Amino acid sequence: MQTLTLEQEINPWEAQAARFDFAAQKLNLDDGLWKVLRYPARELIVHFPVSMDDGSIEVFTGYRVQHSIARGPAKGGIRYAPDVTLDEVRALASWMTWKCAVVNIPFGGAKGGVICDPKKMSIGELERMTRRYTAELIEFIGPEKDVPAPDMNTNEQVMAWIMDTYSMHMRQTVTAVVTGKPLNIGGSRGRREATGRGIGIVCDEALRYLHLQRDGCRVIIQGFGNVGSNAAKLMMDKGYKIVGIAEYDGGLYNTNGIDIHQLVEYRQRNGTVLGFKGAEAADPQELILEECEIFIPAATENVLTSRNVDRLKAKIVCEGANGPTTAVADEILADKKVFVIPDILANAGGVTASYFEWVQDRQGYFWKESVVNEQLESILAESFDDVVRYSEAHGVNNRIAAYMLAIDRVSFTIKQRGIYA
Ligand code: GLU
């Protein structure tokens, strides 16, 4: 791989492109298909006004990028954050294409984002911003076109507003336009926990593959949002020992394991994990490098970089977040023989359950939670197997294997469909 400056190293688009180029080269990907898949197919930028609570008008910038619709409708979340950039949304959209292909579900890839600080906005402002952003995207999205879902700082309520706004424009209720909705309006049982559950499933598979024991296996998790907290809870229940939780404002450490059920309750009451009595306070930047079997970055991008990854002590890195490891850090992890479960496999449980939700909405027939969980388990276990077999067959690490598998599947589809002229 080419040498990158630190600025390039932490640019998610560069991180995506570096892995894509490497995997495409290993696959001997046809030049034309390489050009088709390297860049997103469509990018929409919108600047739209919202009435704020104090009577003023604010203009927000939003993006929706569709990387590919070759295998089906574009699919991917919408994030709200002050530092959203077009390059980030592009990278995340491409990752969705690869992720859906790795788990072999019939979707392409997309992502959206609005530059805003949701922590400083009222519920009313968030609702008006969400509805206007949806209206701006109205021709771009739809059950057969592009199906958004939650991502950083968006949730079931935001999806309900998007569904309602889209439905008002269509003059009929269209539940399948978004996934990750509340249960009552077309949501799927098990969707909320699915990303965290998927992380537990691929960790089980990794332990089996590496002949390691699950009981007492020490886990450190960065991030205690939807993904991190559900992974922690479900993994603790299976016998993993969650020794560390690192949040943006502080960390918790307990060699005997943290009681995650108590911690979830504590956080609900206090709005933070800090001050929890069942563990010691720890510096979050140091905590993520502590001794453990599994480290799960489940917060944000660029957590493991060339600056800290040489000090990482975990044997397995299971990426709950999208893009937590830079391409340069990948090479160092490979030298250290760390077993990486890459984001496009590790956190694919979310979009897999989104696929189930979309299917249920279109059928108008809703599954029991046990059916969702069983289907999820079988898809993720099979995908894990596909990735490690690919890695063995081609002598590459798991991430490059996952990219190769995904690029192979998407490019095969494009070849079969042919290029429309
Ligand atoms: N935002 C999630 C992801 O990055 C979920 C996407 C979806 O369910 O469409 O995978």
- Which pLDDT does position 216 carry in this prediction? 87
**pLDDT band at residue 182, thresholds of 50, 70 and 90?**
very high
Output the six-digit token pair for 74: 């574009």
State yes or no: pLDDT of 95 exceeds 70. yes
Q: At what angle do helices 31-38 and 12-27 cross, to 10 degrees?
A: 160
Instruction: Judge whether residue 2 has pLDDT over 70.
Output: no
Does ligand 1 lie within 6 Å of residue 222's CB atom? no
Q: Which of 79, 175, 170, 169 is nearest to 130 (CA)?
A: 79
Q: Is 244 in the pocket of ligand 1 (CB under 6 A)?
A: no
CATH number given to 40-185: 3.40.50.10860
Q: What percent of the chain has pLDDT over 90?
A: 97
Confidence bin at 6 (pLDDT 50/70/90): confident
CA atoms within 13 A on the CB side of 299: 18
Q: Does residue 172 have a pLDDT over 60?
A: yes
Q: Which whole number is the average pLDDT over 405-417?
A: 98
Q: Is 322 in the pocket of ligand 1 (CB under 6 A)?
A: yes
Q: What is the mean pLDDT of the chain?
A: 97
Note the pLDDT of residue 214.
Answer: 94
Cβ(149) to ligand 1 under 6 A?
yes
The stretch 143-161 carries a mean pLDDT of 98
32 φ/ψ sector (left φ>0, alpha ψ -120 to 50, else beta)? alpha
Q: Number of helices and strands (H, E) in the chain?
A: 15, 12
Q: Torsion angle of alpha carbons 264, 269, 274, 279, nearest 10°?
A: -50
pLDDT of residue 136: 98
Q: What percent of the chain has pLDDT over 70?
A: 99
- CA 265 vs CA 175, 262, 405: distances in Å: 32, 5, 41
C-alpha torsion sign, points 366, 371, 375, 380: positive
**Atom in ligand 1 nearest the alpha carbon of residue 150:** 1
Q: Is 225 in the pocket of ligand 1 (CB under 6 A)?
A: no
* pLDDT single digits (tens) 328-347: 999 999 999 999 999 999 99
Q: Residue ranges of the domains in the chain? A: 40-185
pLDDT-derived band of residue 3, with 50, 70 and 90 as boundaries?
Answer: low
Q: Which of 90, 151, 192 to mutate to test the pocket of ligand 1 (most atoms within 8 A of CB)?
A: 151
Task: Write the CB contacts of 370 (distance below 8 Å, at least 6 apart in sequence).
Answer: none
**Would residue 111 show up in a list of annotated catalytic residues for this protein?**
yes
Return d(Cα 363, Cα 176) in angstroms, integer: 10
75, 99, 111, 315: which one is catalytic? 111
pLDDT score, position 274: 96
